[in-house]
Amino acid sequence: MTQEHAEVLILGSGPAGYTAAIYAARAGLKPVMYQGMQPGGQLTITNDVENFPGYPDGIQGPAMMEDLRKQAERFGLDNRFGLATAVDFSTPLAHKVIIDENKEIIAKTVIIATGASAKWLGLESETRLNGLGVSACAVCDGFFYRGKEVAIVGAGDTACEEAHYLSKLCKKVTMLVRRDEFRASQIMQERVKNTPNIEILFNTETLEVLGSDGVTGVRVKNNVSGEESVIDVHGFFVAIGHQPNTGIFSGYLNMDETGYILVEKGTSKTNVPGVFACGDAQDNVYRQAITAAGTGCMAALDAERYLAASGSH
């Protein structure tokens, strides 16, 4: 196992990670970033971003992440592919992070910007057909089902937004809602209810995604009548929320019951000195690109102040 030292190690490359990198690099802290599982983060699987200040005409998610990457690299970010696979946060100013199981980085400070990932139902058929008609990203994969019928499971804002997006491409969208009501905001509910080619099935649980080398349908059960039925679809979308990517930090960092890292109020400080968290890994409320970027800035400033206070910079 090779070993290297870093002043500031940033894990994750979404808006939080890159903003932390821009601030840390401009402060002369020579940050090293490992981009993680999904370089560029969740925005790389989005299309239009219209609510990030500074883009009056909107921008495509992947293009925005390219801009952030270039901006951070302009100030000297050491930007690398690789995934943190284990950590040891027991030695202050010498936190250990294993990358891809073959490299150890010993970092004075660590900025966690590992984000969150889509949740799945946990059905065997869903896993088997993932990428063969099962998807957690309508914007990425909706195009493949143009003119076809699809189903989407979920009842939050994401499910409504994605159902509406799919309704513009697909012949028909069936929304599978497990309770007798939505969780989504009123405006999003109205939008799907008023879209003629979206059918909403309440009290409906997904039992199985059907098909062998592609999705042919979905077997569902009405939770009130107990009746089972099959809906013929070519695409099956899952939009039931996200899980923070924080598993490797458990045992060291305080987290809530879902795995979101707890930070000291108004800061990015975790319970371990020198370890800071930003973006969706610590935010289960706002989860926006702009709030992620804001907390990334906080993490870099907190890391800089911590290094200065410890006489390390």
Binding ligand NDP (rule: CB under 6 A), the pick from 6, 20, 99, 155 is 155
Strands 32-34 and 103-112: unpaired
In degrees, to the nearest 5, what angle opens at C-alpha 146 toward C-alphas 143 and 149? Answer: 120
Residue carrying structure tokens 């006489």: 311
Catalytic site includes residue 297: no
3-state secondary structure string across 214-272? CCCEEEEEECCCCCEEEECCCEEEECCCEEECCHHHCCCCCECCCCCECCCCCCCECCC
Q: Which of 11, 43, 134, 159 binds ligand NDP (CB under 6 A)?
A: 159
Catalytic residue among 100, 140, 180, 256: 140
Question: Contact with ligand NDP (CB under 6 A): which of 66, 161, 199, 232?
Answer: 161
The reply to whether 179 sits near ligand NDP by the rule CB under 6 A is: yes
H helix or E strand, kind and range, residue 174 = strand 172-176
137 is an active site residue: yes
Instruction: Report in angstroms how near the CB of residue 93 gets to ligand NDP at its nearest.
Output: 36
From 67, 78, 88, 137, active-site residue: 137
Does 158 bind ligand NDP (CB under 6 A)? Our answer is yes
Pick the binder of ligand NDP from 106, 121, 207, 262 (CB under 6 A).
121
Helix (H) or strand (E) holding 159: helix 157-169
Q: Does 157 contact ligand NDP by CB under 6 A?
A: yes
Nearest approach, Cβ of 119 to ligand NDP (angstroms)?
7
Both tokens assigned to 119? 């949740």
Q: Do residues 243 and 229 lie in contact, with contact meaning Cβ atoms separated by under 8 Å?
A: no
Close Cβ partners of 65 (under 8 Å, ≥ 6 residues apart) = 13, 14, 15, 18, 40, 41, 43, 44
Asked if 164 touches ligand NDP (CB under 6 A), the answer is no
Catalytic residue among 141, 280, 283, 302: 141
Which C-beta is closer to ligand NDP: that of 114 or that of 204?
Answer: 204
SS3 state of residue 285:
coil
* Binding track over 26-55 against ligand NDP, x by CB under 6 A: ------------------------------
Instruction: Scan residues 282-311 and list those touching ligand NDP (CB under 6 A).
Output: 287
Is residue 154 within the footprint of ligand NDP (CB under 6 A)? yes
Q: Is 109 exposed, middle or buried (0-12, 13-18, 19+ CB in 10 A)?
A: buried
Binding to ligand NDP by residue 201, rule CB under 6 A? no
Q: How far is the CB of 281 from ligand NDP (least distance, A)?
A: 15
Residue from 39, 156, 259, 294 that binds ligand NDP (CB under 6 A)? 156
Cα dihedral 110→92→243→11 (10° resolution)? 20
Calculate ∠ Cα 69-75-80, nearest 5°.
Answer: 50
Pick out residues in 87-106 that bind ligand NDP (CB under 6 A).
none
Pair 150, 170: CB distance under 8 Å: yes
C-beta of 51: minimal distance to ligand NDP in Å?
9
Residue 241 in the binding site for ligand NDP (CB under 6 A): yes
Check residue 231 for interaction with ligand NDP (CB under 6 A): no
Minimum separation from the CB atom of position 177 to ligand NDP (A): 7
Which residues are designated catalytic?
137, 140-141
Which chain residues interact with ligand NDP by CB under 6 A?
121, 153-159, 161, 178-179, 183, 240-241, 287
